[in-house]
Amino acid sequence: MKNYYEQYKNLHDSIIPIRGRAVEARPIGERRRDWELIEMDKDVVACRLHNTQVVRYYPDGRIGLQCDGWQTPSTADFIHTHSPWQCFKRNNKLWVMVPSKAENSLIEKYLHYPIPKEGELIFQPTEHGQWEPVSEVVVQKRVVNREKAKDARAPYQPFLQWAKTFMQLSDGWIMHDTRKAVIPMVDGYFVYREFSEPVMLNMAKSGDDTQYLGALCAVLCDGSNAVGTRIADRQVQSVGGHSYSITYYDLQFSYDLLKSRLYRMVEKVSYIYDKVDVQVTERTQSNIF
């Protein structure tokens, strides 16, 4: 197996420190990029990005990774460049791909390890030329608690039942005239600033079907996921002596989109999750703490 410690130790020794610095600074790449350094931490060779020793090479062959909470694309690129493994950001986490192959197996797989926000993830070489974490990596995953979710969503079921009937009768279409009747307009544009998520949730669980139409139109204000569109009206507006045309549309939505958007709002105000321990896999995972 390649001796990464010797490689980076030799690299450190070959770089001339920047002159005039009170603290020794050896750029690991271009000399102008003095936020990317290589340094000795006692007998450990450390590749430092800003104030964090992101990649650490130990004399016994171990390699440590850490980010100190900086889970950014630049940190991922730095790890990717100065460690033996690919690293990238996904699902708001940094992931490192480490090859793993069982003894006497010809099949190599890549396990995806999340780099912790705090502390160091350390790998050691194995007898078979692979890498394994020094200690077992157990990942905490956020999963929906069905009972908590059911209780949190219960107050909104009357609204959803009303909305489902409404959308069945209209074949999912919300007309421009319907939207105009419940959403205020200024200078020809709909104004949704009065419909924050808490306001929409209060309208949806009010039990007052006179507020349901406003909640429906507000939740489905974004037409980017509409399954159908058709021109409903065109108007010419004049502001400050300048005229411009505005096109209004009737929009068609699926009931499932409405329900998923509403439930996402509910999840923000109601903690409906449990923490469970999971093992690393050959894929990245979502909802990781």
281 within a domain of the structure (yes/no): no
- The verdict on 126 and 154 lying in the same domain is no
Nearest to 76 by CA among 63, 89, 66: 89
108 within a domain of the structure (yes/no): yes
What's residue 1's pLDDT?
63
CA dihedral 35, 39, 41, 42 (to 10 degrees): -160
288 within a domain of the structure (yes/no): no
What's residue 102's pLDDT?
59
- The verdict on 45 and 119 lying in the same domain is yes
Residue 217, Cβ density class (10 Å: 0-12 exposed, 13-18 middle, ≥19 buried): buried
Least confident of 20-34, 172-186, 227-241, 273-287: 227-241
The widest CA-to-CA distance across the chain, in whole angstroms, is 80
Region 64-74: mean pLDDT is: 96
Region 258-278: mean pLDDT is: 93
Q: What percent of the chain is modeled with pLDDT above 90?
A: 77
- Give every CB contact of residue 117 below 8 A, 6+ residues apart in sequence: 67, 68, 69, 71
Quote the CA–CA distance of 117 and 92 in Å, as a whole number.
11
**DSSP output for 11-30:** HHHHSPPPTT-SS---BSS-
- The verdict on 183 and 105 lying in the same domain is no
Q: Could you tell me how far CA 132 lies from the centroid of its own chain?
A: 27
Q: Which three-class secondary structure state does DSSP give residue 241?
A: coil
Rg over CA atoms, the chain: 28
Kindly indicate the confidence band of residue 109, based on its pLDDT and cuts at 50, 70 and 90.
confident
What's residue 105's pLDDT?
57
Domain coverage including residue 171? 147-271
Give the number of other CB atoms < 10 A from CB of residue 216: 25
- The verdict on 99 and 33 lying in the same domain is yes
Whether 97 shows a pLDDT value over 90: the answer reads yes
Q: What percent of the chain is modeled with pLDDT above 70?
A: 97
Kindly indicate the confidence band of residue 283, based on its pLDDT and cuts at 50, 70 and 90.
very high
- The verdict on 114 and 213 lying in the same domain is no
- The verdict on 87 and 113 lying in the same domain is yes
Look up tokens 């959403």; give the residue: 183
Residue after which a domain boundary falls, among 89, 113, 139: 139
Residue 196 phi, psi dihedral angles, 5° rounding:
-70, 165
Amino acid at 36: E
What are the residues facing 98 on neighbouring strands?
Answer: 111
- The verdict on 152 and 56 lying in the same domain is no
Q: Could you tell me how far CA 26 lies from the centroid of its own chain?
A: 34
- The verdict on 132 and 192 lying in the same domain is no
Kindly indicate the confidence band of residue 215, based on its pLDDT and cuts at 50, 70 and 90.
very high
Q: How open is the CA angle 35-38-40, to the nearest 5 degrees? A: 130
Total structural domains within the chain: 2
- The verdict on 44 and 112 lying in the same domain is yes
- The verdict on 94 and 159 lying in the same domain is no
199 within a domain of the structure (yes/no): yes
Token pair recorded at residue 31: 């000399």
- Rounded to whole angstroms, what are the CA distances from 114 to 53, 84, 161, 176? 17, 16, 41, 47
Residue after which a domain boundary falls, among 139, 169, 190: 139
CB-facing half-sphere around the CA of 220: CA atoms within 13 A? 28
Amino acid at 133: P
282 within a domain of the structure (yes/no): no
- The verdict on 33 and 12 lying in the same domain is yes
Whether 209 shows a pLDDT value over 90: the answer reads no
Quote the CA–CA distance of 289 and 286 in Å, as a whole number.
9
276 within a domain of the structure (yes/no): no
233 within a domain of the structure (yes/no): yes
- The verdict on 152 and 267 lying in the same domain is yes
Taking the model in full, what pTM does it have?
Answer: 0.71
Residue after which a domain boundary falls, among 139, 156, 179: 139
